[in-house]
Amino acid sequence: MSEQTESAPGRGPQTKSLRKEEFPFMEASDKRLGSILSSINVGPKSATLLLLPYGSYISPGDLVKNFKSVVKGSGMEKTSFITAPHYCEYSLAPIGLVAKEHTIDYFGRDVVVGFELTDAGRRYGIPAASLTLHFENQYQTSLYPVLGQINTRYPEHQRGPYTRAKILSLLFEREGHLREADICQELGISLSVAHKTFLALVKAGVITYESVNKNTDKTQVTYRKNVYDQAKVKPYIVRSGSKIISSMPTLTKTVMDISDQLTKEGIPISQASVYSRLQEGQLTARKNKKSLRSSISGVLSHLDSQGFLSRTGFKGSVVESRLEITPLGTNVVQDFIIPLTGLVNDDESVRGRIDREIVPEVIGKLSMYARNSAELYYPYSVSFKNRQTEENLGRLTKILSEEATGDSRGITVTELAEKIGLNINTVSSYLTTLGKTRKIEKLREKGVDYYKIC
């Protein structure tokens, strides 16, 4: 970290001198790529980079005004006033893209009075931020769910976005599918870390992930139906050694019938798809749903051995997994990760194309690009989640008010969840919040809790 001190007469009635604080930018190419990815994982953060001057500083107040101006019309317009300065201080400055200007005021306090681009910020940050906004505008998708969040307390040690980018690049380069173990070995990451990352990338729509082991949350083996006479199929029998524990002719017949229906509808046959059809039938009267799911898996495996079904996803009893990149994932690699890698590796042909074709376009229409990027990111932002919470609390209060008629004892959390369309845990959390404000009361009757407006 380097510091420079200079006097700054006339900058303000309480200003004595300025001190510039600048952290070094990473020299190793992989660490440099990781730093850049951490700096542009959020579209509005990229827009903040493009608002910063080089050679002079901008005050936090002016930065806030400019930020709100370029995201005007998006959900981020009403976000916290500290958003842009927060990006600079806790994400961009620690990795060497932004310098902070400090001063000691007449009360002896160290105050940050401005931010400016460093040499690294100008050379790498500006083209990288422009590339980010350009990609998001072109494909109308936020890169945030792809790259993920960073720990703003230690951004220089954060490998999340880098790891995700390397996984996508690896799947793209191999032009096929890879196993969990292949990726973990290649990138030197643990399976527990990789598993969480795979699920996040599936949710972002950039990979597909299948596995026949306990590491996936919802492991599924898929089957296809063969041309086979149902009458020849023997019922599924549960054994313990040579001892017969139970026979399941009814469940066997039901699973075969559902398999016929799923095949006609073009839906893959799996434990989940069969169970979803059983939920509306008499078999869901069973109290142990986990046991029912296990029995369905056993029946499907039994029907495979009988020749009625054939496995399509995985073969044999060995642990297998498969990850493949999707078309969106391919676009992310080709049009974002590859040029970004060339940029941080000082490939002048890549830099020249970005500086010539993308940077002028994005900066010239910054309000349009920033507003679009902010709107794409908004559903993932804290502001959106807070607004959702406020709206849901309002809806919940309204339902409770409507139920408070006469001597009504109230309404249960299960009934509330059904009416509002949220899961029980979320509704319970909201009720706790409302309870703290003393807007509702809880009555217990025969072991059941009822809620009503006070």
Q: Would you say residue 16 has pLDDT above 60?
A: no
Q: Provide CB contacts within 8 A for 155, sequence distance 6+.
A: 35, 38, 39, 90, 91, 94, 95
Q: Would you say residue 282 has pLDDT above 80?
A: no
> Which pLDDT score, from 0 to 100, does residue 427 have?
80
Average pLDDT over residues 332-345: 97
Whether the CB-CB separation of 253 and 274 falls below 8 Å is answered with no
Residue 289 banded pLDDT, cuts 50, 70, 90: low
> Which pLDDT score, from 0 to 100, does residue 242 have?
66
Give residue-wise pLDDT tens across range 21-73: 899 999 888 889 999 999 999 999 999 999 999 999 999 999 999 999 999 98
Residue 122 banded pLDDT, cuts 50, 70, 90: very high
Give residue-wise pLDDT tens across range 363-384: 999 999 999 999 999 888 776 6
Whether the CB-CB separation of 236 and 252 falls below 8 Å is answered with yes
Q: Would you say residue 169 has pLDDT above 70?
A: yes
> Which pLDDT score, from 0 to 100, does residue 392 have?
79
Q: Would you say residue 167 has pLDDT above 90?
A: yes
DSSP state of 89: I
Domains 160-217+320-329 and 382-453 equal at CATH topology level: yes
Average pLDDT over residues 91-106: 87
Average pLDDT over residues 117-129: 96
> Which pLDDT score, from 0 to 100, does residue 301 have?
83
Give residue-wise pLDDT tens across range 381-422: 776 676 777 777 888 888 877 776 656 677 888 888 777 777
> Which pLDDT score, from 0 to 100, does residue 320 have?
65
Residue spans of the domains in the chain: they are 2-157+330-380, 160-217+320-329, 223-311, 382-453
pTM above 0.75, yes or no: no
Residue 10 banded pLDDT, cuts 50, 70, 90: very low
Give, in order, the Cα–Cα distances in Å from 223 to each of 207, 262, 266, 302: 22, 11, 12, 12
Cα–Cα distance between 352 and 356 in angstroms, integer? 6
Q: Provide CB contacts within 8 A for 341, sequence distance 6+.
A: 33, 169
Cα–Cα distance between 447 and 279 in angstroms, integer? 27
Q: Considering the domain 382-453, what is its CATH architecture? A: Orthogonal Bundle (1.10)
**Is 302 or 129 the better-scoring residue by pLDDT?**
129
Give residue-wise pLDDT tens across range 136-149: 999 999 999 999 98
Residue 189 banded pLDDT, cuts 50, 70, 90: confident
Average pLDDT over residues 104-133: 90
> Which pLDDT score, from 0 to 100, does residue 80 have?
64
Provide CATH code, domain 160-217+320-329: 1.10.10.10
> Which pLDDT score, from 0 to 100, does residue 376 have?
93
Q: Would you say residue 273 has pLDDT above 90?
A: no
Give residue-wise pLDDT tens across range 210-264: 776 544 445 567 888 888 777 788 888 887 666 777 788 888 888 998 998 888 8
**Is 112 or 387 the better-scoring residue by pLDDT?**
112
Residue labelled with tokens 């790529």 = 33
Average pLDDT over residues 98-104: 86
Looking at every residue in the chain, the average pLDDT score rounds to 82
Residue 384, judged by CB atoms within 10 A of its CB (0-12, 13-18, 19+), counts as: middle
Residue 321 banded pLDDT, cuts 50, 70, 90: confident
**Is 77 or 35 the better-scoring residue by pLDDT?**
35
> What percent of the chain lies above the pLDDT cut of 70?
85
Q: Would you say residue 288 has pLDDT above 90?
A: no
> Which pLDDT score, from 0 to 100, does residue 1 have?
62
Q: Would you say residue 197 has pLDDT above 50?
A: yes
Cα–Cα distance between 181 and 29 in angstroms, integer? 25
Q: Which pairs count as long-range contacts for 278-284, CB under 8 Å and 24+ apart, including other chains?
A: 278/254, 281/254, 283/251, 283/254
**Is 246 or 300 the better-scoring residue by pLDDT?**
300
**Is 124 or 291 the better-scoring residue by pLDDT?**
124
> What percent of the chain lies above the pLDDT cut of 90?
38
